[in-house]
């Protein structure tokens, strides 16, 4: 009986330091053939030769047809997706295949490839190659899909995160947007350094790959490398300064706060009476809402799938949430007609609320 053979072909590639799209691998028994002039990645060798994966797939193939499947490698600083195909056999194999090859330890080449990538990140630039390699041994890789929450405001700080690819957004109270973070940037350090809970929520905007290190190991690395202490001291100072500037700008406009302190009717009337032009963003119980004002008149409104007057009436019912007013509106909004006399809209909305209360009684 011939030795079963299987082919593996890379069908997707994300920052893999060794292989490229289209590279092929051939497994014959416990012998693995690599693409020409390519090094052996121990992570991928472990994935391909793993006993449970091969035995599960072999056990399920009982036909003479060429069959295939897709799976991901475990990943290091990048990742790949491979197509698995069992080659046609002269007769079906009924007995499970044993794969005695042991899973190798993490190889020096993996560490070197990761260290080479990280050396371009600002956090690691003060360190020499050997120091970076030592740090790499403490790092773990994680991938997150779009919309995933990585850390949440108010939770205890556990890990420091380093962005390898993708994009995340930083959100404050009531999911108010603060900024975006991308490749090479870090987050989670403030809670680890201060001992306080996480100060902002981090949500994935574009599928993200991150490296992370737990708090204990992070503090150990800070104690060992004074250059890292300086880096994070400067980073904290920079972020605190940026936060203070944002807050100063917001308070200077006089239009940031909570609906529990300034109800919608009072807030909207203030904008109308002061003939404000700008965008009012709100985070309410059913999601974000926006109102566009031109010289105090309402041009456009959107909330919870509603537009125009219906959205405005729904906002008037809200009692909790946060708001932020930004002066100025896009040029394309200036030419549209308003939704009607503001005071009439306000009175109509309040009448609807009274009717709803009466119906409930």
Q: How far apart are CA 299 and CA 160, in angstroms?
A: 44
- The pLDDT confidence band at residue 105, using thresholds 50, 70 and 90, is very low
Confidence at residue 311, expressed as pLDDT on a 0 to 100 scale:
95
For residues 217 and 307, membership in a common domain is answered with: no
Residue 242 near residue 174, CB atoms below 8 Å:
no
Confidence at residue 100, expressed as pLDDT on a 0 to 100 scale:
40
For residues 33 and 101, membership in a common domain is answered with: yes
Domain boundary among the residues 251, 284, 312 is at: 251
For residues 290 and 314, membership in a common domain is answered with: yes
For residues 118 and 247, membership in a common domain is answered with: yes
Give pLDDT tens digits for 131-187: 999 999 899 989 999 999 999 998 999 999 999 999 999 987 767 777 899 999 999
For residues 30 and 123, membership in a common domain is answered with: no
Confidence at residue 59, expressed as pLDDT on a 0 to 100 scale:
44
Domain boundary among the residues 216, 232, 251 is at: 251
Residue 166 near residue 151, CB atoms below 8 Å:
no
CA 228 to chain centre: 25
For residues 32 and 136, membership in a common domain is answered with: no
Q: How far apart are CA 118 and CA 8, in angstroms?
A: 29
Mean per-residue pLDDT for 38-64?
55
Q: How far apart are CA 302 and CA 308, in angstroms?
A: 6
68-77, 126-135, 264-273, 343-352, range with the lowest pLDDT? 68-77
pLDDT higher than threshold 70 for residue 75: no
Confidence at residue 190, expressed as pLDDT on a 0 to 100 scale:
85
For residues 64 and 130, membership in a common domain is answered with: no
Q: Which domain holds residue 15?
A: 5-105
Confidence at residue 174, expressed as pLDDT on a 0 to 100 scale:
65
83 backbone φψ class: left, alpha, beta (φ>0; ψ -120 to 50): beta
**What is the pLDDT of the chain when averaged over all its residues?**
79
For residues 121 and 240, membership in a common domain is answered with: yes
Q: Strand locations in 23-108, DSSP E?
A: 24-28, 31-33, 67-72, 79-86
For residues 233 and 334, membership in a common domain is answered with: no
- The pLDDT confidence band at residue 89, using thresholds 50, 70 and 90, is very low
- The pLDDT confidence band at residue 262, using thresholds 50, 70 and 90, is confident
Query: What domain count does the chain have?
Result: 3
For residues 188 and 205, membership in a common domain is answered with: yes
pLDDT higher than threshold 60 for residue 93: no
Residue 355: its H or E element: helix 342-360
CATH code (residue 137) = 2.60.120.10
For residues 317 and 355, membership in a common domain is answered with: yes
For residues 52 and 100, membership in a common domain is answered with: yes
Give pLDDT tens digits for 15-48: 777 788 788 888 776 667 778 777 777 777 777 7
Domain boundary among the residues 193, 221, 251 is at: 251
């Amino acid at each position: 009986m011939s030795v079963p053979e299987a082919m593996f072909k890379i069908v997707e590639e994300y920052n893999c330091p060794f292989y490229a799209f289209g590279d092929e691998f051939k497994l014959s028994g416990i012998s693995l053939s690599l693409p020409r002039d390519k090094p052996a990645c121990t992570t991928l060798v472990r994935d391909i030769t793993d006993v449970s994966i091969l035995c599960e797939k072999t056990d399920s193939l009982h036909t003479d047809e060429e069959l295939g499947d897709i799976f991901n490698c475990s990943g290091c600083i990048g990742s790949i997706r491979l197509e698995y195909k069992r080659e046609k056999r002269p007769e079906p194999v009924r007995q499970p295949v044993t794969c005695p090859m042991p899973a190798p330890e993490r190889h020096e080449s993996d560490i070197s490839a990761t260290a080479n990538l990280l050396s371009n990140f600002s956090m690691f630039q003060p360190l020499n190659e050997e120091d970076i390699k030592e740090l790499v041994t403490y790092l773990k890789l994680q991938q997150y899909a779009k919309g995933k929450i990585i850390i949440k405001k108010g939770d205890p700080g556990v890990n420091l995160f380093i962005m390898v690819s993708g994009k995340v957004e930083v959100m404050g109270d009531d999911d108010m947007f603060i900024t975006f973070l991308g490749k090479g940037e870090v987050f989670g350090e403030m809670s680890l350094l201060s001992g306080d809970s996480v100060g902002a929520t981090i949500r994935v905007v574009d599928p993200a790959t991150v490296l992370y290190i737990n708090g204990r190991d992070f503090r150990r690395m800070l104690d060992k490398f004074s250059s890292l202490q300086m880096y994070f001291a400067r980073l904290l100072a920079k972020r605190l300064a940026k936060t203070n500037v944002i807050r100063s700008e917001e308070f200077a406009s006089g239009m940031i706060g909570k609906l529990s302190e300034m109800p919608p009717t009072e807030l909207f009337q203030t904008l109308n009476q002061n003939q404000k032009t700008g965008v009012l963003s709100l985070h309410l119980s059913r999601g974000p809402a926006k109102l566009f004002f031109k010289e105090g008149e309402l041009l456009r409104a959107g909330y919870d799938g509603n537009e125009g007057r219906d959205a405005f009436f729904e906002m008037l019912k809200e009692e909790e949430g946060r708001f932020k007013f930004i002066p100025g509106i896009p040029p394309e909004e200036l030419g549209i007609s308003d939704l009607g006399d503001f005071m009439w809209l306000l009175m109509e909305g309040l009448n609807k609320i009274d009717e709803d209360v009466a119906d409930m009684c």
